Amino acid sequence: MSLSSEYFDGLYAADADPWGIERGWYEERKRAVVLAALPRPRYERAFEPGCAGGALSVALAPRCDELVCWDPAARAVETTGERLADHPHARVEQGALPGSTPDGTFDLVVASEVVYYLDADDRAAFWDAVEACLRPGGHLLAVHWLREAPEYPVEGAGVHDELAARTALARTVRHDEADFRLEVYARASEARSVAEETGLR
């Protein structure tokens, strides 16, 4: 079963930053890797599900014309809303995957440390939703912890294995290290390297 929103509310009741996302070099560096891995300097409309307290959201906001963030946990939504107050083009809503995605389409979806909370059916529904909402030329960036997390429905590597099996998507970026895997996907018919994106030969 997917982990419930009550599970995450419980974590936030005990600690405003349950994963120490704000507290150390590991997460700060990972955010820098995420930002560096985005193939484009700017995106028109981005979706970040599972935004937690908004640490990545505030880093993504300057790279987007519009940013929509979701989290099921009320405390996370409140914190992210406060942090995004200086970015009127960015907003946070209380929402959970898979459900639908927010209304409209996106040229960037950032799934950072969130898909392993979903069970197999919900993950399949999420990948379907991403494929449906990606604008032409759009990107999905997925990044997940690779070490053991027995309480999650699937390991991080399993999330990325599933993504690799989606025939409608093709990988354009892969960053692998002992702790996490980061990949960027585009529609298979539209996938281009960063050099191709920028006109380099």
Which residues lie near ligand SAM (CB under 6 A)?
Answer: 3, 8, 19, 21, 49-52, 55-56, 70-73, 76, 96-97, 112-114, 117-118
Question: Of 70, 147, 73, 75, nearest to 116 (Cα)?
Answer: 147
Closer residue to ligand SAM, CB minimum distance, 107 or 122:
122
Closer residue to ligand SAM, CB minimum distance, 51 or 129:
51
- The Cα–Cα gap between 112 and 131 comes to 17
- The Cα–Cα gap between 97 and 82 comes to 22
Query: Residue 56 CB, nearest distance to ligand SAM (Å)?
Result: 4
Query: Residue 117 CB, nearest distance to ligand SAM (Å)?
Result: 4
Closer residue to ligand SAM, CB minimum distance, 177 or 196:
177
Q: Is the Cβ–Cβ distance between 31 and 59 less than 8 Å? A: yes
Which position's Cβ is nearest ligand SAM? 50
- The Cα–Cα gap between 174 and 184 comes to 7
Query: Residue 192 CB, nearest distance to ligand SAM (Å)?
Result: 26
Beta bridge partners of 92: 69
Query: Residue 201 CB, nearest distance to ligand SAM (Å)?
Result: 35
Query: Which pair of tokens denotes residue 110?
Result: 């950032």
Closer residue to ligand SAM, CB minimum distance, 96 or 169:
96
Q: Is the Cβ–Cβ distance between 34 and 182 less than 8 Å? A: yes
